[in-house]
Structure 1
Amino acid sequence: MYFDAHSDIWTDVTVKREHGEKNVLKNHHLDRLRAGQVEGSIFVIWVERPDIQDYAIRTAQIKQAILDETAECDEVQIVHTVAEMKQARDAGKFYIWIGIEGMAAIGDDVSKVDEYYNFGCRHGMLTWNEKNLLGAGAATGLTDGLTEAGKNVVKRMQQLGMLVDTSHLNEDGFWDIVDVATAPIIASHSNCRALCDVPRNLTDEQLRAIRDLDGVVGLNSFTPFVHATKAKQTVEQLAKHADHMINIMGIEHVGCGFDFFEFCTPDVVGTMTDDPELSVAGMKDCSEIYKLFQCFDKLGLTKREKELIARENFTRVLEKTVG
């Protein structure tokens, strides 16, 4: 069984509900997730078209869609603690941690972090690809670190018991988080810059910093972060990212954060679907996660080591940070 630390499914739920659909999780997602042996995930609140949408308004719309959707679907359970997660799993429910992918909606009002927490969020990223009043995303190309508000958001998140996620943040902001963190941090869906030199991936120094805070990095199947050459955007190459992480950080700090896009359509993500092959060849969606773990067999990983990557490393970090 697998735990996926990053999915944008809430956005798909919101868009489909706006088109009049109900029970989106049951009708479009749960069968596929279960077939792929995904037992639970972090589903993030992600403002999918910031070029045409107001962050605060869209965030509120997605939150309402979450409430409406989960009220209809008794096959899923929103969880807030690891104990709740285990209870949901034992009950045969698909468990969901609510996360935030970018906090532009709060401006620089640190107190609004509590509103996320009270809604049920136990995970968060300060930015998506944009610059906001907390920091700058990796895609901006900026060297701005976190603002004072951004640093205080990190502190408040860890005080409350929210998992701080550095994926999408630029490198200067990353190091600011490392400086203020008092609990493990993660990069939920990032790969290794040594194997694919893009800003969204992590340097070996960053990987070691996450290790030193007892955090985890989730392997990302999104093709531009796997290899610059199309022919090498494969599940085998993704396994090489895992191997590199293991060599740099140790097996206890590698997990899954696949960022699958198989459900996305142009009305969800605009031009991001121009390339139909957004997930690595050989692992097109969650139904083929097992193929990555077959690659791990070829790397010589033991059953126990594969279990750590599949779910237990992230479970450890959630237990330490969220409870």
Structure 2
Amino acid sequence: MLSRLWHSQQPDAEARFIDGGSSGHIDLVKAGKGGLAGGLCAVYVSSPSMQKDTNGDFATPDQQDALKSTLGMASLLMRLERRAAGRLKICRSAADIRQAIADGVFASVLHIEGVEAFAADLDALYVLHAAGLRTLGPVWSRPNIFAYGVPFRFPSSPDIGPGLTESGKDLIRACNELKIMVDLSHMNEQGFWDIAALSNGPLVASHSNVHALCPHSRNVTDRQLDAIKDTGGLAGINFGVLFLRSDGIRNPDTSLDLLADHIDYIANRIGLDHVALGSDFDGTTIPASMRDAADLQLLVDLLRKRGYDEAALAKICHGNWIRVLETTWGA
């Protein structure tokens, strides 16, 4: 969402997000229609011209350029909070989220997907935490000074490349100190296990699916799912068709039943308390039958037809997220 608005050429993009009529998957009107109460609002810095390196993987942006963009997107979220006049709140605690939901206010959590903006000194981490940063993924699907990042490959194991660097270990320790949630989506397998050994928080893959159903490098294996359960964490289902389909094809004509299949698999393997919705709205190609956030109830209705009762749906749709964030943040 933040990246789309930041790069938008429309002079009224922010107004369209607040009042409706945006071209993306999410705006406040679509969220209201679909019952989307909030989410992780991700700062994401794209690769330079989305260029790839000699291995066909995405190149890493320059740190100073990434810092400028990251600050710009964080300030954009703050501006939206002010302009939306009580319809969007940047939440810094689980209590904030609960209150926002009770008040019908979009509960926004400032998140960074790939911390290319950070130098090894981590000064930017501490400043952004003071500004409201509460979750981050150390990498997007490319290497940086903290970790390798799993590239987009199909079919492929996520066991690609090295894990955390020494700077990456310092980053995880700092996140533990600040009680920032560490997101394992986009992390390769070695990085996943390095964080599992080091972090004191629940393991969370915010928008990753089941590797056994779709053997994409971005998806999590059964062993990783078991580790997520053991720490009280969760896997948030990615709506992207690339990560749902067993053939790995970017085909919008993909049934929502595949999305429900991934939910079923995780619930059956590690329990209902450890599966949630991760969406990746505005970040990927989703099934055409779910045009945007306004159609979220189509998925909820499908899960209801599959036998999930209202208590189970409440866990999947919001309860598990709030529990994990409260455990991580301590409030």
Q: Give the TM-score, by structure 2 length.
A: 0.85
Structure 2: distance between partners of 1:78 and 1:205: 34
Q: Which runs of 5 or more residues in structure 1 are unaligned?
A: 1-8, 265-271, 273-277
2:164 pairs with 1:146: yes
User: Cα distance, 1:22 vs. partner?
Assistant: 4.3
2:80 pairs with 1:69: yes
User: Map of 1:156-171 to 2, 5 A cutoff?
Assistant: 156-171=174-189
Structure with higher RCO (Cα < 8 A, 6+ apart): 1
> Which amino acid counterpart does residue 14 of structure 1 have in structure 2?
W
Structure 2: distance between partners of 1:183 and 1:65: 29
> Which amino acid counterpart does residue 156 of structure 1 have in structure 2?
A
User: Map of 1:31-46 to 2, 5 A cutoff?
Assistant: 31-46=29-44
Does the 8 Å CA contact 2:136/2:182 hold for their aligned counterparts? yes
Structure 2: distance between partners of 1:102 and 1:183: 19
Does the 8 Å CA contact 2:74/2:110 hold for their aligned counterparts? no
Does the 8 Å CA contact 1:25/1:73 hold for their aligned counterparts? no
> Which amino acid counterpart does residue 312 of structure 1 have in structure 2?
G
User: Cα distance, 1:56 vs. partner?
Assistant: 1.7
Structure 2: distance between partners of 1:44 and 1:167: 13
User: Cα distance, 1:233 vs. partner?
Assistant: 2.9
User: Map of 1:1-323 to 2, 5 A cutoff?
Assistant: 9-16=1-8, 19=11, 21-27=13-19, 28=22, 29-51=27-49, 54-74=65-85, 75-139=87-151, 142-227=160-245, 228=247, 229=249, 230=251, 233-261=254-282, 278-322=285-329, 323=331
User: Cα distance, 1:282 vs. partner?
Assistant: 2.8
Q: Secondary structure at the match of 2:112?
A: strand
User: Cα distance, 1:21 vs. partner?
Assistant: 4.6
Structure 1: distance between partners of 2:150 and 2:126: 26
CA distance 1:63–1:297, change in 2 (3 Å): closer
> Which amino acid counterpart does residue 115 of structure 1 have in structure 2?
V
User: Cα distance, 1:152 vs. partner?
Assistant: 1.7
User: Cα distance, 1:135 vs. partner?
Assistant: 0.3
Q: Deviations over 1:285-318 (max 9, x none)?
A: 2122222222223332222111110100011001
Q: Deviations over 1:89-136 (max 9, x none)?
A: 222211111101110111322343212211201000001111000001
Instruction: Give the alignment's Cα RMSD to 1 decimal.
Output: 2.1
CA distance 1:132–1:297, change in 2 (3 Å): same
Q: Secondary structure at the match of 1:305?
A: helix
Larger helix percent: 1
Q: Deviations over 1:151-176 (max 9, x none)?
A: 12112112211111000111110111
Does the 8 Å CA contact 1:133/1:147 hold for their aligned counterparts? yes
User: Cα distance, 1:231 vs. partner?
Assistant: 8.3
Q: Secondary structure at the match of 2:279?
A: coil
Structure 2: distance between partners of 1:97 and 1:155: 21
Task: Specify the alignment match of 1:275 in structure 2.
Answer: none
Q: Secondary structure at the match of 2:42?
A: strand
Q: Secondary structure at the match of 1:96?
A: strand
Structure 1: distance between partners of 2:295 and 2:78: 30
User: Cα distance, 1:213 vs. partner?
Assistant: 0.8
Structure 2: distance between partners of 1:61 and 1:149: 25
CA distance 1:21–1:201, change in 2 (3 Å): closer
Task: Specify the alignment match of 2:56 in structure 1.
Answer: none
Does the 8 Å CA contact 1:200/1:225 hold for their aligned counterparts? yes
Q: Deviations over 1:41-62 (max 9, x none)?
A: 1101111344476312211221
Q: Which runs of 5 or more residues in structure 2 are unaligned?
A: 51-60, 154-159
Does the 8 Å CA contact 2:136/2:180 hold for their aligned counterparts? yes
Deviates more, 1:56-65 or 1:90-99: 56-65
Does the 8 Å CA contact 1:17/1:65 hold for their aligned counterparts? no
Amino-acid identity (%): 29
CA distance 1:140–1:151, change in 2 (3 Å): farther
